[in-house]
């Protein structure tokens, strides 16, 4: 008899523990935030939960979202919508003259990403966009506008600038330059390790294959691959 009821008792125990854990997270999420006391609240909210996946659950639990205690927020103009997730070891950095970082509702920036603004650049990420681990997004000299519902695979890099390379002067000593803003349209998909350079527009619904280097515009619903990226088909082709 006890053997038959064991799975039921185990389920009840799991249910009770999970309910207590969720109550604990909801309670401390009210005090969580990017400031010093807020980081303590975030740490306490996350304390009884497994890493990584639980962060998304906590971001959905409270309109303020969730900024992981291990994330670094060195930015005076961070603007976030509702249920935003900033994951473990993410760096949000503002250099001299940097504009805002704006993360709209339900944006997720996962672990080990670095988002920077500086020298006239700004970064805007639309609602429901997911930025997977280890992406680097640097908005210097020009701005970067990422639309809504964009999926960005791990290891992508977006740079709205580059260095001059005129002769007779070390590269690091040459001024930054830009060909213009970067725009990524709604519901685009950037595969693993895609690099997007300044002055480029990636259209809505476009797909960029893994490892591509995007140096020219990609139209809506196009599929592009290669270095440099070239269009190989349209998504609505038979």
Q: Using an 8 Å Cβ cutoff, are 208 and 229 in contact? A: yes
Q: Using an 8 Å Cβ cutoff, are 103 and 123 in contact? A: no
Provide the residue-wise pLDDT of the chain in tens; the chain has 238 residues.
Answer: 444 455 555 546 656 767 777 777 777 777 787 777 777 877 777 777 777 777 888 888 889 899 999 999 999 999 999 999 999 999 999 999 999 999 999 999 999 999 999 999 999 999 999 999 999 999 999 999 999 999 999 999 999 999 888 888 888 888 899 999 999 999 999 999 999 999 999 999 999 999 999 999 999 999 999 999 999 999 988 7
Burial 66-93 (b: 16+ CB within 10 A, else e): bbbbbbebebeebebbebbbbbbebbbb
Where does residue 236 rank: exposed (0-12), middle (13-18), buried (19+ CB within 10 A)? exposed
In this structure, which CATH number among 3.60.21.10, 3.30.565.10, 3.30.70.260, 2.160.10.10 belongs to the domain 70-234?
A: 2.160.10.10
CA neighbor of 180 nearest in space, from 204, 200, 203 = 200
Element housing 66 (H / E): strand 66-67
């Amino acid at each position: 008899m006890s053997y038959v009821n064991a799975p039921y008792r185990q389920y009840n125990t799991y249910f009770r523990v999970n309910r207590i854990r969720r109550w604990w997270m909801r309670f401390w999420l009210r005090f969580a935030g990017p400031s010093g006391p807020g980081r303590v609240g975030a740490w306490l909210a996350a304390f009884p939960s497994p890493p990584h996946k639980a962060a998304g659950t906590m971001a959905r639990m409270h309109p303020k979202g969730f900024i992981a205690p291990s994330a670094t927020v060195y930015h005076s103009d961070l603007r976030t919508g509702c249920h935003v997730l900033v994951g473990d070891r993410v760096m949000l950095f503002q250099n001299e003259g940097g504009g805002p970082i704006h993360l709209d509702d339900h944006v997720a920036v996962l672990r080990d990403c670095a988002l920077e603004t500086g020298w006239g650049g700004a970064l805007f990420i639309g609602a429901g966009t997911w930025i997977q681990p280890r992406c680097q997004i640097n908005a210097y000299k020009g701005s970067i506008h990422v639309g809504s519902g964009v999926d960005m695979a791990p290891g992508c890099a977006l740079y709205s600038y580059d260095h001059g390379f005129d002769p007779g002067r070390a590269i690091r000593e040459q001024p930054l330059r830009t060909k213009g803003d970067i725009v990524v349209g709604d519901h685009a998909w950037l595969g693993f390790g895609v690099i997007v350079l300044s002055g480029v527009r990636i259209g809505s619904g476009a797909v960029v294959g893994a490892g591509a280097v995007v140096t020219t515009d990609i139209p809506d619903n196009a599929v592009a691959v290669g270095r440099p990226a070239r269009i190989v088909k349209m998504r609505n082709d038979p």
